[in-house]
Amino acid sequence: EQVVIEVQDLVKWYPVKVGILQKVAGYVKAVDGVSFSIKRSETLGLVGESGCGKTTTARCMLRLTEPTKGRIFFEGKDIMKFDRESMRKLRPRMQVIFQDPYSSLNPRLTVKEIIGEALTFHGIARGRELEDRVGELLKMVGLSPQHIKRFPHEFSGGQRQRIGIARALATNPDLIVCDEPVSALDVSIQSQILNLLEDLQERLGVSYLFIAHGLNVVKHISHRVGVMYLGKLVEIADSEEIYKNPLHPYTQALISAIPIPDPKRKREKILLEGDVPSPINPPEGCRFWTRCRYVMDICRHEEPELLESAPGHKVACHLYKC
Ligand code: SF4
């Protein structure tokens, strides 16, 4: 199967500057050595609490934020070596669907202008052709082509997110980063949007990096799931495998937080103690040790590597060192 995008050892540190002289006092280690790949027509779910580095990872992957270090391959080509012009040509093939359908659509633009913006910008379509393409995109996301001249405020939250999806699809991308696309929507609307994204993937063969807070949202839509904690990828596996057999104590805690619909079945809820430590001076060794119920001596000073524990299942935890 063809890999669309691969990131290797992605790092993004932000300097923390202090005083009048703005001396660098430390670094926010937002993303600290993350590697993964996404295949064609595949959805990789990326989960973790706020500030764990999921969105920064995605932004670096698209080169919307310049990574501090690391390599990014798009269809095998190292795009860190791309100059501005090559990046500009690549842009239409990588798109984003944003979290908030209210603030991500310019209220002063019509639906046609919003969806058609990228087509105009990249010189893909104009005039009648542009209008036809926007109409077609609206149909694809379950809206009427007659909505073309309307403004965002005339739509509900779910419909606005459909417009956001149509905008992302306009340039026929190979990869879409879905940055918490349903978290601002009512639960009843969430599943409609998730189903739409799934249908579109089946029809178009597009790949998704699907970012979410908790594991319940990504459960149905993802083929594989990666779990991040304080700038690190701590576990990655096939979706079914990670729900049935979570290995990292942090993943286990996230899974225990998913409500079970069947009241007869019970699951022990693992409460995580304490807050997420600051990414400025993350704990030495395993970054999770301050909250881990299995913490051992080695965890406090030696960082666990992300190692394969079974085919396709990787985990970074000293409990599983062979
Ligand atoms: Fe817990 Fe140690 Fe595993 Fe970290 S390495 S998750 S502290 S057992």
Please tell me the residue having the least CA distance from ligand 1 atom 7. 289
CB 282 within 8 A of CB 261: no
The confidence score (pLDDT) of residue 25 equals 87
SS3 2: coil
What is residue 248's predicted lDDT score, i.e. its pLDDT?
A: 97
What is the 293 CA–ligand 1 centroid distance (Å)?
8
Task: For ligand 1, say whether the CB of 158 is within 6 Å of any of its atoms.
Answer: no
Q: Are 232 and 34 in contact (CB under 8 A)?
A: yes
How many other CB atoms sit within 10 Å of the CB of residue 50?
A: 8
Average pLDDT over residues 288-315: 95
Q: What does the H/E/C string look like for 245-309?
A: CCCCHHHHHHHHCCCCCCCCCCCCCCCCCCCCCCCCCCCCCCCCHHHCCCCCCHHHCCCCCCEEE
Ligand 1 atom with the shortest distance to the CA of 292: 1
Q: Has residue 9 got a pLDDT over 60?
A: yes
Tokens of 44: 């990789």
How far away, in angstroms, is 162 Cα from ligand 1 center?
Answer: 41
Q: Kindly report the CATH number assigned to the domain that includes residue 127.
A: 3.40.50.300
Task: Give yes or no for a contact between 46 and 76, defined as CB atoms under 8 angstroms apart.
Answer: no
For 232-250, the pLDDT digits (tens) are 999 999 999 999 999 999 9
Evaluate if residue 322 carries a pLDDT over 70: no
Ligand 1 contacts CB of residue 101 (under 6 A): no
CA–centroid distance, residue 300 to ligand 1 (Å) = 9
269 to 166, 254, 255, 266, 284: CA distances (angstroms): 39, 9, 9, 9, 27
Measured CA to CA, the distance from residue 54 to residue 211 in angstroms comes to 7
Q: What is the 3-state secondary structure (H, E, C) of 36-80?
A: EEEECCCEEEEECCCCCCHHHHHHHHCCCCCCCEEEEEECCEEHH
User: Structural domain tally of the chain?
Assistant: 1
User: Which atom of ligand 1 lies closest to the CA of 250?
Assistant: 6
pLDDT beyond 90 at 76: yes
Minimum mean pLDDT range among 9-13, 40-44, 183-187, 262-266: 262-266
Least Cα distance to 313 among 253, 209, 224, 192 occurs for 224
For the segment 193-202, the average pLDDT, to the nearest whole number, is 97
Nearest CA among 219, 194, 177, 178 for reference residue 74: 177
| 313: confidence class by pLDDT, cuts 50, 70, 90 | very high
CA of 204 relative to ligand 1 center, distance in Å: 41
- Segments forming the whole domain that contains residue 212: 3-320
- The candidate with the shortest Cα–Cα distance to 210, out of 69, 48, 21, 27, is 48
Q: How confident is the model at residue 107 (pLDDT cuts 50, 70, 90)?
A: very high
CA angle at residue 263 from 260 to 267, to 5 degrees? 50
